[in-house]
Chain A
Amino acid sequence: DQQVKQNSPSLSVQEGRISILNCDYTNSMFDYFLWYKKYPAEGPTFLISISSIKDKNEDGRFTVFLNKSAKHLSLHIVPSQPGDSAVYFCAASAPGTSYGKLTFGQGTILTVHP
């Protein structure tokens, strides 16, 4: 039972344009959401997060939007750069779960073309 789903395995974008990565979740108890970025041969690194009390969080070129009623979040990257090419994972946690356990989506491979 996949509680966090990233339905697009891959996304290709031109440099300078916007990249939009999507994530859906089914567990209504999730209240904290994160995006991680992973380059080949490296571990995932934390990118940005959002609490369920907000609907938007921004950090430089990266913005995460949360739509609780639709159980949907998205990551916007503007403008996209070739160095953004990586696998992006969304993750979620619920309060009271064991030690802040994260549930991850399947990942989306983003390719930004020069």
Chain B
Amino acid sequence: DVKVTQSSRYLVKRTGEKVFLECVQDMDHENMFWYRQDPGLGLRLIYFSYDVKMKEKGDIPEGYSVSREKKERFSLILESASTNQTSMYLCASKLRVLETDTQYFGPGTRLTVL
């Protein structure tokens, strides 16, 4: 069974802190994605990775960076957290680049920045 896990379900951080969100998939998928979900805005793509050490910016990369040192793990980094980064963060993975391949999502991390 397909599984995408995220390291924390809830996180509370202070403004200016460095924050790491971890995502692990056990399906040997090549492609991994980070989204944030906000009311009225849907899911917006922050970054994605198509291979180890490879990454591309999504639609809203400002204030974020990513790391993919191993195929199964994709980390989202907030270098200096700000209150406008309070959101639900969702990780996803898919096997290949084909449009018809399904993206599988993790349960999400609810991040609050105070």
Contact = CB atoms under 8 A, between A and B. Distances in A.
A100 B43 contact: no
Given A93-B99, A95-B99, A104-B44, A45 B105 contact: yes
B107 to A, nearest CB: 5
B45 A100 contact: no
B111 interface: no
A43 B40 CA distance: 17
A62 interface: no
A95 B108 CA distance: 28
Nearest to A46: B102
Interface string A79-114: 000000000010101010011111011110000000
A16 interface: no
Interface in B27-60: 31, 35, 40-45, 48, 50, 56, 58
B4 A106 contact: no
Contact of B97 (A89, A100, A105): A100
Interface string A5-43: 010010000000000000000000001100010000111
Given A46-B103, A99-B31, A101-B48, A107 B42 contact: yes
Interface in B54-111: 56, 58, 90, 92, 94, 97-108
Contacts of A91: 43
Nearest to A98: B56
Nearest to A3: B59
Given A41-B107, A46-B102, A104 B40 contact: no
Contacts of B97: 99-100
A98 B103 contact: no
Given A49-B100, A93-B99, A99-B97, A42 B56 contact: no
Interface of B: 4, 9, 31, 35, 40-45, 48, 50, 56, 58, 90, 92, 94, 97-108
9 contacts: A41-B108, A43-B107, A99-B97, A100-B94, A100-B103, A101-B58, A102-B45, A106-B41, A106-B42
